[in-house]
Amino acid sequence: MSTSRSLRLQDSLQLLHGDSPTPITLALIYGLGLSAGGALALLGLQSGYNWWQTLVLFVVALDVFGGAVANGTRSTNIWYASRPAALSYGFLAVHAIHPLLVAWLLPGGSWPLFWFIYLYMLAAGSLVVRLRRQPFHLPVALAALSAGFLLYTYLFALPLPLRWFGYIFFSKLIVGFAVDHYGASREAEK
């Protein structure tokens, strides 16, 4: 493998796992992602999903469940929190893909579901990123997460294979990602 290709791969892996993921955290990330994806794929098949809907459900679940763990790891969290906030805002913004796939391709998904989940996550996650250097950013994130759970539960009666989506998606991005769990943003400021 050429050096430039190796560097691009390393840069891509840093976007997923930071500079120094441990074997244990990687096992947790991929173990949960694959297990949840597999279990939900089976549930999708039992619920009448066709093969490509089942594949979409598997891939979305793999990334959202695995990402929920990855974003709470020291390596990933410090890597993002110690860089300019614009990178974090971009990370939140690209996560339109998950609710888009759910709304567009999966039975029970809808455009109101897409817009609610994406815009709520983007607003709450961006607020928490904006407040990262404040000591109260974690309680703000937890309040936003709780309110998001309540609204999601109240507004959407989703079929069983999709009920989990909003809860884990919000957990992954509002608390797992946007919160600076290890104080890296305050250290970068010094």
The string of pLDDT tens digits covering residues 91-115 is 999 999 999 999 999 999 999 999 9
Instruction: Give the number of residues written for the chain.
Output: 190
> What is the per-residue pLDDT for 65?
98
Share of the chain above pLDDT 90, in %: 85
Domain that holds residue 185: 3-189
> What is the per-residue pLDDT for 11?
64
Structural domain total, the chain: 1
> What is the per-residue pLDDT for 16?
73
pLDDT band (50, 70, 90) for residue 17: confident
User: DSSP letters along the chain, please?
Assistant: --HHHHHHHHHHHHHHH-S---HHHHHHHHHHHHHHHHHHHHHHHHTT--HHHHHHHHHHHHHHHHHHHHTTSHHHHHHHHTS-HHHHHHHHHHTTHHHHHHHHHSTT--HHHHHHHHHHHHHHHHHHHHTTTSTTHHHHHHHHHHHHHHHHHHH----GGGTTHHHHHHIIIIIIITS-TT-HHHHHH-
Kindly tell me if the per-residue pLDDT of 2 is higher than 60: no
pTM of the model: 0.91
Kindly tell me if the per-residue pLDDT of 30 is higher than 90: yes
Kindly tell me if the per-residue pLDDT of 1 is higher than 60: no
Q: For residue range 112-160, what is the model confidence (pLDDT) as tens digits?
A: 999 999 999 999 999 999 999 999 999 999 999 999 999 999 999 999 9
What residues contact residue 163 under an 8 Å CB cut-off, 6+ apart?
none
Residue 43 and residue 106 in contact, taking contact as beta carbons nearer than 8 Å: no
More confident position, 187 or 46? 46
Q: For residue range 37-80, what is the model confidence (pLDDT) as tens digits?
A: 999 999 999 999 999 999 999 999 999 999 999 999 999 999 99
Residue 40 and residue 100 in contact, taking contact as beta carbons nearer than 8 Å: no
